[in-house]
Amino acid sequence: MTRFGRLAMMLALLPAIAAAPVSIETPPILGLWHNPQNTLQVRTQACGGELCGVIAHATPTAEQDAREAGVKQLIGVQLLSGYRETGPGKWSGTVYVPDMGRSFSSRIVQLSPDTLKISGCLIGGWFCKSQIWTRV
């Protein structure tokens, strides 16, 4: 093919290349997740270079449990904070448990694109409780 032929072919393809959608991939952990009881929905997002999660929806039962622990408004509470990636699909940070009114060291492991295992631990990681959260 001549130089002119190659140039003509490149120019002919230019509109198709320019019209191709640009994919900006969202990191898989970002989004809306619900707990196993489906009483809370948490939106995970980037917060100053770290991962955090804010309560976006709560059932009346969850709101009442939180009020009994001294949390007046559950929607908007930062449930997950200060998470830093520790490996592929793994983060370490702090989880706030509203109905206990306490924060615990925590780990998140992304088991699949639509499931997270969130663990909260006491006393240096000796006593832990985990939940599997699902993407909404």
DSSP 44-90: EEEETTEEEEEEEEE-HHHHHHHHHTT-S--TT-EEEEEEEEEETTE
Contacts of 57 (CB under 8 A, 6+ apart): 40, 41, 75
Cα torsion through 24, 29, 30, 36, rounded to 10: 150
Q: What is the pTM of this model?
A: 0.78
Mean pLDDT of the chain: 85
Question: Is the Cβ–Cβ distance between 128 and 119 less than 8 Å?
Answer: yes
Predicted confidence at residue 26, as pLDDT, reads: 56
Rounded to the nearest angstrom, the gap between the alpha carbon of residue 74 and the centroid of all alpha carbons in its chain is: 18
User: If we measure between CA atoms, which residue out of 126, 125, 134 comes closest to residue 107?
Assistant: 125
- Is the confidence at residue 109, as pLDDT, over 50? yes
Section 102-116 average pLDDT: 96
Local confidence band at 4 (pLDDT 50, 70, 90 cut-offs) = very low
More confident residue, 31 or 8: 31
pLDDT score recorded for residue 55: 98
CA dist., res. 74 & res. 57, Å (int): 8
pLDDT tens per residue across span 6-27? 334 433 433 443 444 443 455 7
